[in-house]
Structure 1
């Protein structure tokens, strides 16, 4: 049987000026330097700029391998991930060179270790700066346009490590995944790709195998055993053969479903390679049986883009995922689990792994398998023209084949996507003229990558890019065809303009807000804090980001009186913007078949579009997602016939009931009321027109429309907040503490618009279970707070915010 020994001990990082410090493997240069006290945390204040030299330097990792004595014929040194440009040397022998973060590398060290005898053999991994390699490749292939002033498209490395409009520029190097020695004899499983399909109740697993043999093992006939649950089959591998496909049938296979549609049964799948009775190698996976396709059929509105799982069309309630840390080696299985559980708890059923990041670790996909989160996986190409010449082309194909095969067992993986915004960029961002016929990636997205997916894993659909209309017959970002990105809203227009279009599938849209208050306080030491104080501006990476925030506020609110009000209102505006888009698009199911919020998470503390900030704190947007992505959603929408209550039912059961419509004065008086029966079938949308006399008249500043159905509520105001006559907010507050939690009950004595308890102001570890709430006079809400050390009503009141106060211009006490 193959022996595996992790190479984790004794690593040192050699410094450019001489000397060494301890190094962690897996790890990276920046984290090693921080651990040694030689680099200030680049996430704090403006330390990022002081760390820029690290990315321009060359670095060497050193250790020594133990003596090579072994009963096995072959010893391989395996690196699952080297970031990025490295020469690997064992003793005096150069084993090879790497230039791709996204793939693994294997080196035969049998002879080198044997020659060393009983001595330990020095191992060095010498990294060249990714900048040096990128500039070398650019000189070879010529300049190409991109969206950022960094050369990330010339090296196969996580693009966003070069900075993005939400991320720092921290170009690191290191052994970022596991290093190990593998000792084996006769043969080993070089690649295992289990492809699970289902036909009716019958499951089928086809295991496609690549086998590597030693010289002595070339003449051996071998046996492969495939076991799926209780089903097992064996097949012979003839002497000299190095590929094989073996299939197992599974009767009555329980289907794997996305969350909200059914259960997620997973089956153990084991492939064993044998030489007679001797076990040579084994590969274990967990698989699920399900079918997934994309419906792109034409209709009166254009052409669809609808995910279909096990024959059921899905409205995808999605979020975009970026690397959870700019130093990905720090992301543990537990951290993946926390973030993905947050997504599932918010009603998310699809995670898009964005193309400027990485192929994530198997821990990520394992969690998605178990939580029922569909995965849309981008290939790592984003916002740039990518050369198709060598040395890049062969690296792209190698990484694609390796990762498509690696991820094939995961039932959560639903779609491979060729790139992020590059087809759109070619058409709209002046690339075509600048390129003057040079390659830019089209051959990857429309040729190489679909071929690799079809050959390696034909069980999953491939889409050429996002946005993409399906062909050059339509604009790449045509909302009537395929996938669309909605960025005119936020960049140039108010979020009310989301209502102007019904895209077939919204793969990106978003609105910014700063991180939670405690996150800002930890990361930025400016005193006083201000939206434009130096540290705050450094942690705002979007072009004119604060200007867009302020212009977005100006449509709805007066100028904030102080930083705390600005911080609160930008959080409110983010949640309002996303709710405007999602409610509108969900109300148009099945014409619109998905929304994928930009973005779920952050990789450091920053003002961004994220729902969960870089310190893992949940913004108000996160809690709003729970409402927006629930199976049942009530919203009030303009329709050609007038104002309409729309009842969206994404559950498997029919939804029947009564929607109560009330025109309510600001003091809580009901001015008019109507009740309408409705029936929304499973996975359908129902409408209940609002009688004209219930609609507040144009310009009404002292009344609103309230719609209620089965405990759900929607509000509609005739004027922007800045023009509404909000009363001075009054409430009663009670705090009951027990067992490490506190229940904060707020009872409204006036209308309270978007009441928010900012729990992290009560203590850095305090967190609330809900976000914004609008209360009519006499109504109550109870907020559960965990991690609050000294609960009390006065402290809770000081952490409460309302739009009422913000519109009145009341200045809050300095925090």
Structure 2
């Protein structure tokens, strides 16, 4: 070797990773009696090789292979000289950190990174082995290599690999260098070419994250590199190849059942002590057992069934707590030495599926029942945090998942064109009660949406699915497996188990995770999208779309007539905040936001908002930069659209059993997109409307349109939503007030409704109605408030309406009289709260609060997009940042305020 990252000589191209055989038949023996043991850490004989001490070099294809150039007689130099690298990560993030690649999130600069996939890359690391560490067997374990190449150990090829989502285990027994200093190199070939969003699903031959090849919310950004952890492990006698402690509540309260299933590779026949234990969240052992096993060499499967007392149920978010337990196994020799160990986090809950009331006989059941209580699934579609998903940290996950958990989400659909999500993601969902709908790396392609049935691809898909199921199935957050996104036969008919691909996956799930739900695809049932012409025919089961606001009255008529049993994808685009659009423009022109502006087409070409915003808010001048107002209008349309579609679906519960927004997060800073969180995790206005619509207690209005004329009849049917009321609030009640106000705060109509005890589910309370009078300004609002018997506010919603004789439906919001006396300031030095007040004579409409800490990081508010009546003030909490605000401002359609004082 010339250097740590140099070329490799003396390579045997026929060497391969040694495969592990399939497990043998089950063996069971009696429990030992009377003995107790102290279990040790499961990873005692592992060395982590992850970290920032790797090196990276880039090569033109094959030029890393020969030691000398035949033409020149000198060493061939790499195309990209050695630079520092971090594992897990990606080639692109290492190049960016070294200043060798432009920031792909600025302007059009992602185009300047596309060359990376035209090179071959070598990661190198010197591995120091402690004296006496190596035992009978030694293995290199790569949890994720993206995508294909070879592993070299001390200058010789140890394995070839292919597949982003297949763990690679390389036997390096007996090949550790004298003195303990070893060279590890991982070479990546050029990644395969795949269809991006538009192409042919049936022709897919590689299981790599497809979104990176270009989707409507990300340009081409194809990741390469070591994207999950690397470790070196050693053991003797026996190795744990799979450990699955399946947990479920028992019939008696406070009792749980755990079925321990362990797959071993036994290298040496003999007697082993198998120790099992269950610990609570504080590390206290609440159950343990041991037994002596006499094992023959080869693959072995062990089982043990346990009944455990004193356990608490795990609940989805909003329904209760999420107690977690740690299940463990150790195998020891006769001297008590730990030879192998494994551990998993588990939770005790039972999930069943119930047919929707009144659904067609052939429809799948879509109502989730958790621990005996039906759950309305409310959530978002989740895509990778970054195109370079290997570099995503736990802090990055928290920055996106914390807001979603606070949005009252209880389910995340991990979309099929992305990745099998990481342990950090699942651990978070376990802790916060977020159910996970995990899809299996397949997606539609527009020209052909049928999944592949190529035998080699199905073999790879089976291997990847097996690895995913074994890694994820113990997580209490795992709700279901799904074959993929928008997989359909011709005519946009969702596939089912009649397709060989789906039949294979369904069979695997039945074999490996038999208690878990498997859906063939999303959407599922006879129809992909709901069509108003087919309402009432029973053909809308789990549907996708629409993805645009249809205006007034079209949007409201559609969702008032909707009959879908479940909505796993419904969305509307909204622009990012104007400050971010300006900050990331680079050398581009930020205005106008039109289809002939490359800044907008590069960063979300499907969702360029010019036409949609113009249709609702009237014309804009191309030669005058009005970005702030334009973005505000775009964001308002997304908010109005998603609020009504989500509320309308929830009003139909239990006939409708869930609503998932397309989409929650985004991996690239789009100028406009359907996400409710921006790239950096900051919410859009739609986020706050959904936060209320998804709350366990909510009050909503059903109406026919948002634009009126003087003398028109206005009518809104008021609904109270109180999920789990019978189980969680059996004695609670509420008073609901519906009040309509004009722009100056004068009362137009009001009505009170009593709900005692609090009804469970969605209940129509009655209606508020009046004739729209002649108004001084063509805007009025409807305020709904639900209060507990002790006066506490349980829920509050404000709806806007226009009453103009001419113009587009929302155009009146652009010319409202100014609310001149609006203030925003920190509420106190001790609390993370701000006080926003409207002391003017007119309403302040859609006030959006923004603030940064003294390091320039934006903070997130508990509520936002506020409409304040004259004389009204609100106290709003905030989170994030370092606790000190350096800037604070609020701006709406007709008001703006800024606080310039110091606060700490």
Aligned match of 1:743 in 834, 856, 879? 834
- Conserved 8 A contact 1:369-1:412: yes
Query: Is 2:743 the counterpart of 1:666?
Result: yes
Contact preservation (8 Å) 2:541, 2:565: yes
Q: Which moved further from structure 2: 191-200 or 481-490?
A: 481-490
Query: What secondary structure is seen at the aligned counterpart in 2 of 1:364?
Result: helix
In structure 2, the partner of 1:559 is 619
1:354 equivalent to 2:415? Answer yes
Aligned counterparts of 2:822 and 2:878: Cα–Cα separation in 1: 14
1:391 partner SS: helix
Structure 2 residues not aligned, in runs of 5+? 1-42, 61-77, 280-285, 531-537, 706-713, 788-792, 804-808, 897-904
**Superimposed CA distance per residue, residues 315-346 of structure 1 (whole angstroms, 9 cap, x where no aligned partner):** 11211111111111221122223322211111
- Compute the displacement of 1:204 (Å): 1.0
Task: Answer yes or no: is 1:127 the counterpart of 2:200.
Answer: no
Q: Any conservation in 1 of the 2:493–2:527 contact (CA below 8 Å)?
A: no
Asked whether the equivalents of residues 260 and 651 of structure 1 are also in contact (C-alpha less than 8 Å), the reply is no
Matched, 1:715 2:799: yes
Q: Residue in 1 aligned with 2:509?
A: 453
Q: Kindly provide the CA deviation profile for residues 496-553 of structure 1, in whole angstroms up to 9, marking residues without a partner as x.
A: 433341321111111112223333233212565212485631553343x21xx23432
Q: How far does residue 389 in structure 1 lie from its aligned partner after superposition?
A: 2.5
**Separation in structure 1 between the aligned mates of residue 399 and residue 544 of structure 2, nearest angstrom:** 28
Task: Measure how far apart 1:661 and its partner are.
Answer: 3.4
Deviation at 1:263, TM superposition (A): 1.3
Q: How does 1:172-571 map to 2 (within 5 A)?
A: 172-200=223-251, 201=253, 202-214=255-267, 217=268, 219-229=269-279, 230-240=286-296, 242-276=300-334, 277-296=336-355, 299=358, 303=363, 304-384=365-445, 385-423=450-488, 426-428=489-491, 442-445=499-502, 447-469=503-525, 474-477=526-529, 480-487=539-546, 489=548, 495-496=555-556, 497-526=558-587, 529-530=590-591, 531-532=593-594, 534=597, 536-543=599-606, 545-546=607-608, 549-560=609-620, 562-571=626-635
Residue correspondence of structure 1 range 18-97 to structure 2 within 5 A: 18=78, 19-66=81-128, 70-97=133-160
Deviations along 1:364-418, one digit per CA (max 9) or x if unpaired, are: 1111111111111111111244433243222211111111111122111111111
Aligned equivalents of 2:431 and 2:439: distance in 1? 21
Q: What's the counterpart of residue 27 of structure 2?
A: none
Residues 551 and 616, structure 2, Cα contact 8 Å, conserved in 1: no
Change beyond 3 A, Cα 1:678–1:297? closer
Q: How much has 1:301 moved relative to structure 2?
A: 6.3
| Distance in 2 (alpha carbons) for counterparts of 1:410 and 1:648 | 30
Match of 1:137 in 2: none
Aligned to 1:428, the other structure's residue is in SS state coil
SS in structure 1 at match of 2:716: strand
- The aligned residue for residue 15 of structure 1 is 58
Distance 2:202 2:829 in 1: 53
**CA 1:271–1:644: 2 relative to 1, 3 Å:** same
Question: Deviation at 1:752?
Answer: 2.7
Measured after TM superposition, the shift of residue 430 of structure 1 is 10
Mapped partners of 1:98, 1:228: distance in 2: 36
Distance 2:776 2:871 in 1: 26
Deviation at 1:89, TM superposition (A): 2.3
Give the direction of change, closer, same or farther, for the CA distance of 1:225–1:541 in structure 2 (3 Å limit): same
Compare 606-615 and 64-73 and name the one that shifted more: 64-73
Q: Answer whether contact 2:412 2:434 (CA < 8 A) is retained.
A: yes
Q: What is the distance in 1 between the residues matched to 2:814 and 2:824?
A: 30
Q: Per-residue CA shift, 1:466-489, capped at 9, x if unaligned?
A: 0002xxxx3355675542111364
> Is 2:749–2:770's contact at 8 Å kept on the other side of the alignment?
yes
Q: Tell me if the contact between 2:108 and 2:599 (Cα under 8 Å) persists in the aligned partners.
A: no
The 5-angstrom pairing of residues 751-766 of structure 1 reads 751-759=843-851, 764-766=856-858
Q: Tell me by how many angstroms 1:103 deviates.
A: 2.0
- Inter-partner Cα distance in structure 2 for 1:374 and 1:431: 24
Q: Deviations over 1:422-453 (max 9, x none)?
A: 13xx2335999xxxxxx9993222x1212221
Match of 2:11 in 1: none
Q: Distance in 2 between matches of 1:151 and 1:37?
A: 40
In 2: Cα distance, 1:387 partner to 1:298 partner: 35
Distance 1:663 1:628, change over 3 A: closer
Tell me the secondary structure at the aligned position of residue 190 of structure 1.
strand
Residue 835 of structure 2 contacts residue 873 of structure 2 at CA under 8 Å; is this kept in 1?
A: no
Bigger shift: residues 733-742 or 342-351? 733-742
Aligned length: 770
Other structure's SS at 1:260 match = coil
Deviation, structure 1 residue 223: 3.3
Q: In the aligned structure 1, how far is the partner of 2:774 from the partner of 2:355? A: 42
TM-score (norm 2): 0.78
> Which range moved further: 693-702 or 391-400?
693-702
* Contact 1:15/1:21 (<8 A) preserved: no
Following superposition, the deviation at residue 614 of structure 1 comes to 1.1
Tell me, yes or no, if the aligned pair for 1:735 and 1:742 is still in contact at 8 Å.
no
How much is the aligned-residue C-alpha RMSD, in angstroms? 3.4
Task: Return the offset for 1:148.
Answer: 4.8
Change (3 A) 1:631 1:213: same
Instruction: List alignment gaps of at least 5 residues for structure 1.
Output: 135-143, 433-438, 806-815
Q: Could you tell me whether the CA contact under 8 Å between 1:635 and 1:714 is conserved in 2?
A: no
1:115-194 aligned within 5 A? 116-118=177-179, 120-131=181-192, 147-148=198-199, 153-194=204-245
Which has the larger displacement, 665-674 or 406-415? 665-674
CA distance in 2, matches of 1:695, 1:491: 24
CA 1:680–1:514 in 2, change beyond 3 Å: closer, same or farther?
farther
* Bigger Cα displacement from structure 2, 233-242 vs 490-499: 490-499
Question: How far apart in 2 are the matches of 1:280 and 1:450?
Answer: 36
* TM-score where L is the length of structure 1: 0.87
Supply the distance in 2 between the matched residues of 1:410 and 1:8 (Cα, whole angstroms): 24
Structure 1 residue 198: Cα displacement: 1.8
